[in-house]
Amino acid sequence: MLTITNTQKGPRGVNTVSGPVLLDPKQTIEVEVYEREKQHIDATGWFDVDGSYAENPALVTAAAAPISSGEDVNAARIAQLTEQVSLLTGALSAAMSRGAPPETKASEPAGLIAKHAGGGSWFVYDGDEKLGEAMTKEDAEAFNKLSDADKAALVKKG
């Protein structure tokens, strides 16, 4: 058990067996402190200490599982993934040799379509080309329900 006195003008803390304790200036307390804290307490010069430190607790460590136990599982998974990469690479090469274009994100329907252009404005587009004047959402929805021939006729009039 230690008797510790704070010799400083302000409060100071000390780590005890039961947790941190704050001592006011000139305050004296009796606490248990592990030996491992002695170096810190002495280095600060903040305390007068009398008594003996408590023995450090034993370190408890769990035995680590041998790495080799997972190596077989990892090697099997790596082999499996390597085979999948090989199959996909072969499929891609075959598709490229047939002249098939690489897969891209789903494209929008071909032809005239009314879509939102931001800021509450809707326009008719032919691919990426914006056609005509801005319209309301309701008009855009009605336009998109028309047949391709009716859409083309409306765009020609505009």
Least confident of 22-26, 53-57, 102-106, 137-141: 102-106
- Tokens representing residue 110 in the block: 């071909």
Radius of gyration in angstroms for the set of CA atoms belonging to the chain, rounded to a whole number:
39
Q: Which of 3-12, 74-83, 106-115, 143-152 shows the lowest per-residue confidence on average (mean pLDDT)?
A: 106-115
Candidate from 66-75, 80-89, 108-117 with smallest mean pLDDT:
66-75
- At 156 the pLDDT is 76
Residue 3 has φ and ψ, to the nearest 5°, of -105, 120
Choice between 36 and 104, residue whose per-residue pLDDT is larger: 36
Q: Of the segments 37-46, 58-67, 81-90, 124-133, which one has the largest average pLDDT value? A: 37-46
Is residue 150 predicted with pLDDT exceeding 70?
yes
Mean pLDDT estimate for the chain:
83
Query: Pick the residue with more confidence: 26 or 102?
Result: 26
Q: Does the structure show a pLDDT above 80 at 133?
A: yes
Q: Is 93 exposed, middle or buried (0-12, 13-18, 19+ CB in 10 A)?
A: exposed
- The CA–CA distances, whole Å, from 37 to 18, 42, 82, 97 equal 13, 9, 53, 72
Nearest of 89, 78, 141, 91 to residue 113 by alpha carbon: 141
Amino acid 30: pLDDT: 95
pLDDT for the residue 7: 96
Residue 53 has pLDDT above 60, yes or no: yes
